[in-house]
Amino acid sequence: MSKEKKHNEYTETAPQPIEQTQTELEKALTEENEKLIAETESLKAENEKLHKTVKRLQSSADKSDSYLNQLVAMKNDFESYKRRMKFNGEQAKTEGVTAVVTKLIAVCDNFDLAKQHLDGDNLKAFEMIYVQFVRILREFGVEEMDVLGKPFDPLRMNALSKIDRGEDNKDVVVEVYKKGYVLGEKVLRYAEVIVGA
């Protein structure tokens, strides 16, 4: 082949493929770039949707936490209310029993006075009623104080006077003027006593 022919081949065929290849490459790169831009835009849109969803979920979670806290507070309030009502109910019951029993104690005093003026069959019948009455008071938790011969206790007794009854009876209850009564640990009526001096 001659030099001229070779040169013509290079000059005619060589520039065409490079330009064509560059154009095709540019087209391919442009298309790829457009695809990437479209994907980026799509991803941005998806990312925005996800951010909105996250915000919505966070808002829902915050509301849920708020409702849960309110529910826990309401439960605690209700438990406190139940305890208060139970305590108030028990206290009202105790106060009611105390009010009734305090009035019935005066009836016990009248029983004691009446016993002194009865004898025979009347006394036996009367004592049966008295025993039943005292048993009912005990069912409510009321007990008569046993103070005769015991050391004087100012928390449970009122001293009406002091009488000299010997050295052995100093500061000891020697006479009971009025019986004292307790309901559990609570003094319903103080015993009125005479104390040895």
SS3 at position 174: strand
CB atoms within 10 A of CB 191: 25
In this predicted structure, what is the pLDDT of residue 168? 84
pLDDT digits (tens, 9 = 90+) for 53-86: 999 999 888 888 899 999 999 999 999 999 999 9
pLDDT digits (tens, 9 = 90+) for 83-137: 999 999 988 888 888 888 888 888 888 888 888 887 777 788 888 888 888 898 8
The H or E element that residue 196 is part of is strand 191-196
pLDDT digits (tens, 9 = 90+) for 6-24: 555 555 544 556 676 778 8
Picking from 130, 172, 181, the residue whose alpha carbon sits closest to that of residue 151 is 172
Contact 163/194 with Cβ under 8 angstroms? yes
One-letter identity of residue 129: I
pLDDT digits (tens, 9 = 90+) for 130-163: 888 889 888 888 899 999 989 999 999 999 999 8
Picking from 194, 87, 177, 189, the residue whose alpha carbon sits closest to that of residue 137 is 189
Name the pTM for this structure. 0.55
In this predicted structure, what is the pLDDT of residue 28? 84
Two tokens, residue 50: 């996800």
Residue with tokens 């154009």: 23
In this predicted structure, what is the pLDDT of residue 193? 92
